[in-house]
Amino acid sequence: MDRIHGMCCLLVTFLCCVVPSAGDHRSVLWRGGSIAVEAAADHVLVSPSGGFSCGFYKVATNAYTFAVCSNILNLMYDGPEISSNYWPSPFNKWWENNRTAYNSSRHGSFDRRGVFTASDQLQFNASDMGNERVMRRLTLDYDGNLRLYSLDAAAGRWHVTWVAVERQCYVHGLCGSYGICSYRPGPTCSCPVGYVPNDASDWTKGCRRAADVRCGSDDVDFVEMPHTDFWGFDVNYTSGVTFDACRRTCLADCNCKAFGYRPGTGRCYPKIALWNGRIPIKPDQTIYLKVPTSVKNKMINQTSFLLFDGHACATDERDAMVSTSYLHVRSNTINFIYFYCFLAVVFVLEAIFVVVGYLFVFRADSVAAGRVRDEGYSLVFSHFRRFTYDELSNATSGFRDELAKGATGSVYKGVLDDGRSIAVKRKQADEVFRSELSVIGRINHMNLVRIWGFCSEHPHRLIVSEYVENGSLDRALFGDDGEGSGVVLAWRSRYKIAVGVAKGLA
């Protein structure tokens, strides 16, 4: 078979889904007119009547179809009593299901890599996508679910690599009227209390009342069915009402079979038909089933409102194994959450390592630089006496007599214990303190003020020098300081002093 014919065959398999029946043979029901293949280059299927669908029917029980409705590919339950769409989610609008109804082509394609695309923006792929040698089939199964199968040639078995409805109980009509689908652990049908199966060998026929409810009589009550819902067929939906008001609404309507109520929101759902029952549901809801009082009284000693009686799916109809690769693909959301959490943890750890490493290196550099700096200044400090801060505080009477104040600190007058008058200069910056000591330690001149010591106790930085009674040289150089010292040198003397200072520094 060449490539073009192979593509057409796959497309026919897609739209003419051959589904297994409950009997020994397989049957296909054609609907919506004839289906033909357009020009081979287009690789699409078209219908002369503008629409097509295909599905499998069980006479007098149910029907599942994979059809185009309102330009949207969907799965539909079309039984003898009711019909309803169940995929994509009927709770959402088409745009919330990532579909578009604004298309007129109504076509889809399924390639050899296992990728399906449709004109309504539907796209899905097999979990083993990419391997063109794998044989695949898209089948609408007997349970109403659309599945993509890949053939394991070595084992000779088909494996599910994609499924339309992940939670099987969300397929409509699965348990028939009044039936409830739950997981035990696989999908299982059961009848609520007061109901019996119509056909114990065919769970799609649903359940029926064991005793009729007489409308308008006092012999009517409700059985509470928590965490349960019957999808659809709500009448006179209201919100913000009390439970008693919702109960009275259903009690007064002879067509009301049950009502759903969500505590906290006050939402009331009176139901005129009970189809598509399922447990559990989200958000949580409780169904109150209308039954005769006698049925309610029998439930006093019962712990369950469901009756099973072997009314479950036949396991021998399952002819395919779910592959582990598919399970892995369907849990992509959880896997991605773990992946992102792992990346976040790695990022946080890297950030911690970077910060700690930076602080360690920065501190090490700072300590090393400080050690080199201290070693350089220790030679200078060794020439002077080290005073304590308390000694200088006592000598200056708490630094009360301020002689001068400059940009780098203030100068205070004091007297040592041996009677010597001192000038204590308080430095604000450590670098200025060390720099000044270093400069003074390298200069030895008879006309310079003698340094007698220092104090270096964090955060105090003090330099102790001899006290000069006539004030500092700048007063004599720059004139009267406003304090009436009267020491004013002639310009010739000022010039000689400036030259001498320059020679001393040079």
pLDDT (tens digit per residue) in 212-226:
888 777 788 888 888
Q: Residue 354: helix, strand or coil by DSSP?
A: helix
What is the distance between the alpha carbons of residues 475 and 486, in angstroms, rounded to a whole number?
9
Confidence (pLDDT) at 482: 54
What is the distance between the alpha carbons of residues 271 and 290, in angstroms, rounded to a whole number?
10
The secondary structure of 402-463 as a DSSP string is EEEE-SSEEEEEEE-TTS-EEEEEEES-HHHHHHHHHHHHH---TTSPPEEEEEEETTEEEE
pLDDT-derived band of residue 376, with 50, 70 and 90 as boundaries? very low
Average pLDDT on 34-54 reads 44
Q: Which position has the higher pLDDT, 486 or 37? A: 486
**Which of 197-206, 345-354, 375-384, 389-398 is least confident?**
375-384
Tokens of 216: 């308008």
Whether this prediction's pTM lies above 0.75 is answered by: no
Confidence (pLDDT) at 186: 81
Tokens of 425: 């200069």
- Fold identical between 189-312 and 381-505? no
Q: Which of 42, 40, 46 is nearest to 4 (CA)?
A: 40
The DSSP element (H or E) to which 111 belongs, if any, is: none
Residue 456 CB coordination number (10 Å): 18
Q: Which of 147, 113, 210, 132 is nearest to 13 (CA)?
A: 147
Q: Which of 287, 288, 270, 299 is nearest to 222 (CA)?
A: 288
Burial zone of 505 (CB within 10 Å; 0-12 exposed, 13-18 middle, 19+ buried): exposed
Q: Is the pLDDT of residue 315 over 70?
A: no
Please state whether beta strands 115-118 and 108-110 pair in parallel, antiparallel, or not at all (unpaired): antiparallel
Q: Is the pLDDT of residue 195 over 70?
A: yes
Whether domain 381-505 has CATH 3.40.50.10860: the reply is no
Confidence (pLDDT) at 441: 63
Q: Which of 306, 307, 264, 257 is nearest to 283 (CA)?
A: 264
Q: Is the pLDDT of residue 156 over 60?
A: yes
pLDDT digits (tens, 9 = 90+) for 434-470: 777 767 666 666 667 778 888 888 778 888 888 877 7
pLDDT digits (tens, 9 = 90+) for 13-25: 333 333 333 333 3
- What's the chain's Rg over C-alpha atoms? 47
Q: Which of 273, 301, 300 is nearest to 289 (CA)?
A: 273
Confidence (pLDDT) at 246: 92
Confidence (pLDDT) at 404: 81
Residue 440 CB coordination number (10 Å): 19
Buried b (16+ CB within 10 A) or exposed e, 94-124: beebebeeeeeebbbbbbbebebebbbbbeb
Q: Is the pLDDT of residue 259 over 90?
A: yes
Average pLDDT on 254-283 reads 86
∠ CA 240-170-261 to the nearest 5 degrees?
A: 20
What topology is assigned to 189-312 in CATH?
A: Hepatocyte Growth Factor (3.50.4)
pLDDT digits (tens, 9 = 90+) for 332-357: 444 556 677 888 888 888 888 888 87
Q: Is the pLDDT of residue 10 over 70?
A: no
Q: Is the pLDDT of residue 380 over 60?
A: no
Average pLDDT on 379-396 reads 77
Cβ-contact 161, 126 below 8 angstroms: yes
Confidence (pLDDT) at 16: 36
Domain boundaries along the sequence of the chain: 3-165, 189-312, 381-505
Confidence (pLDDT) at 317: 38
